[in-house]
Structure 1
Amino acid sequence: MTKSEHTSLLTRCARIFKLALWLRQTIKRVKRFKNLSATECNNELISIAHNLLHVLHIKVKPEQAVPDTASMPWLTVANHVTWLDIFVLMAYIPGGFIAKESIKSWPVLGKLVTNGGTVYINRLSRQDINPVIKAIVQALQEGKNVLFFPEAYTSEGLTMLPFKAALFQAAIDADRPVMAVAIRYYDSQGQRTPKVAFAGRTTLLRSLWNIVSLPEIMVKVDFAALLNTADNKITDRFSLKTQAEDFIQTKVLSDSPITSTASAESASSQ
């Protein structure tokens, strides 16, 4: 990384200070959630997400307009790169997440997503799946959006991990649409970057330091046409998973440097 591609130490410290102020304010806002209506909670979640993205100099560029929200609630699925994904999605589609149990203990973020209606899942237990599906179905039938990452784990964002099909069953059982969302991260030079990834052995603090070290982060968000709608019912979770996965994978790989390098190597070997 060249000198022009990272922020100064002073800038990083200033951003962390602003983040601390955001955390303090967010703690106060989250404590009020229990006294708010569902609509007011959603508005708070959207505002909190936008405020965090602003503090970290993250600009989100939707590649398409968000489909008509009158068709909500949705089961929203996206590729998973970093903890920032939660706020990128929350800025447009507020709702509860399906998340690993360890997030519950994270400072502020754990409380925030818990109050947003998050359902926690034990990844090591297959027996945990059916209760989670039932919880998602109940939330959707109550008019609440539910969001999850079918990869189950984070990647570096330049490719994708295979999707898992189990939780797609909830959309079928609840008779609700599925919204597939592709998320791509770019640096200030307009190049895809894995620097924001919260993958492998990267710690939360290391991830945060990487993020504040980038002058600016731009996020492209692609929204697919709704799946499992009244005009196109899908009764097989594997088919539903594949359609969502194909859309997201096409977008993620469309300008990935890994894909470009592989193509160039293939052409040179012929």
Structure 2
Amino acid sequence: MTKSEHTSLITRFSRIFRLAVWLVKTIRRVNRFKTLNETERNKELISIAHNLLDILHIKVNSEQSLPNTASMPWLTVANHISWLDIFVLMSYIPGGFIAKQSVKSWPVIGRLATNGGSVYINRQSRQDINPVIKAIVLALHEGKNVLFFPEAYTSEGMTTLPFKAALFQAAIDAETPVMAVAMRYYNSNGQRTSKVAFAGKTSLFRSLWNIVSMPEIIVKVDFSALLNIAENKTNDRFSLKTQAEDFIQNKVLMDSPATATAPSTSDSI
């Protein structure tokens, strides 16, 4: 039997109320981050992510186990669809994100990102690239995971946008493994959905309303084998980018209803 594609208004407002409570509690937890060591902070990040996913009835499924975490820290890269991506990834791999500057001003998420060790980048300035690469290398050398979205922008999730190669240089400079993660979103009937996408002219509040209106969201997560390790080490950021991009694109297109050819992956940065 096909499930309803929408929740009742009571359910939607109940989720928003619970989310407001989560926001207040999360602010308090994030404000204590400076007093925690790396292990304690990582546990807090994972817990915060799981709490949010539970409130919004989001189930995260992986067909394979996360590779051995003993090889952390990692430079983790993933396709980008929604602000939910941050919490899906954080439930597995706690760390700081490379984010656009506007995220810093977002309620709670901005503070969570900042206190979690995120680095902000000006997408309009290539002069920002080298300082950001150095900041990533420093974080990796300090044993911190760093996560970023090489598409730079969100898509509707049925295909991927061309990846940017520049920040992959940090993994080469730091001699750190790269973990590629592919995410796909489904509705309660098991169909791929773009309703969660925070793309185009969709506002944050419109995106939130779309999400609380869905009875259940299922996220399928696929992990690549570790890249840039002894067996496949490279000094070419374009090669490393292509390895990650090929893995993610193949997974995203696996059961996508999209009929258009995926965008070109050419990159000059």
Equivalent in the alignment of 2:5: 5
Q: CA deviation at 1:261?
A: 11
Secondary structure of residue in 1 paired with 2:97:
strand
Question: Which consecutive unaligned segments of at least 5 residues does structure 2 have?
Answer: 263-269
Secondary structure of residue in 1 paired with 2:180:
strand
After superposition, what is the alpha-carbon deviation per residue over 1:21-46, rounded to whole angstroms, capped at 9, x for unaligned?
Answer: 10011011011101000100000000
Equivalent in the alignment of 2:79: 79
Equivalent in the alignment of 1:205: 205
Residue type of the alignment partner of 1:249: Q
Equivalent in the alignment of 2:133: 133
Contact 1:253 1:259 survives alignment (8 Å): no
Equivalent in the alignment of 1:47: 47
Contact 1:95 1:145 survives alignment (8 Å): yes
Residue type of the alignment partner of 2:207: S
Match status 1:154 vs 2:142? no
TM-score (norm: length of structure 1): 0.95
Contact 2:3 2:189 survives alignment (8 Å): no
**Distance verdict in 2 for CA 1:105–1:122, change over 3 Å:** same
Match status 1:124 vs 2:124? yes
Q: CA deviation at 1:4?
A: 1.8
TM-score (norm: length of structure 2): 0.95
Contact 2:198 2:204 survives alignment (8 Å): yes
Higher relative helix content: 1
Contact 2:58 2:218 survives alignment (8 Å): yes
Equivalent in the alignment of 2:225: 225
Secondary structure of residue in 2 paired with 1:235:
coil
Contact 1:181 1:221 survives alignment (8 Å): yes
Residue type of the alignment partner of 1:74: W
Q: CA deviation at 1:260?
A: 9.2
Identity level (%): 79
Distance 1:256 1:129 in 2: 33
Secondary structure of residue in 1 paired with 2:161:
coil
Secondary structure of residue in 2 paired with 1:220:
strand
Distance 1:35 1:105 in 2: 23
Equivalent in the alignment of 2:57: 57
After superposition, what is the alpha-carbon deviation per residue over 1:70-98, rounded to whole angstroms, capped at 9, x for unaligned?
Answer: 00000000000000000000000000000
Residue type of the alignment partner of 1:214: M
After superposition, what is the alpha-carbon deviation per residue over 1:174-220, rounded to whole angstroms, capped at 9, x for unaligned?
Answer: 00000000000000000000000000000000000000000000000
Equivalent in the alignment of 1:267: none
Contact 2:76 2:179 survives alignment (8 Å): yes
Match status 1:114 vs 2:114? yes
Q: CA deviation at 1:230?
A: 2.1
User: Which structure 1 residue ranges, 4+ long, deviate > 2 Å from structure 2?
Assistant: 259-262
Equivalent in the alignment of 1:240: 240
CA RMSD of aligned residues (A): 1.5
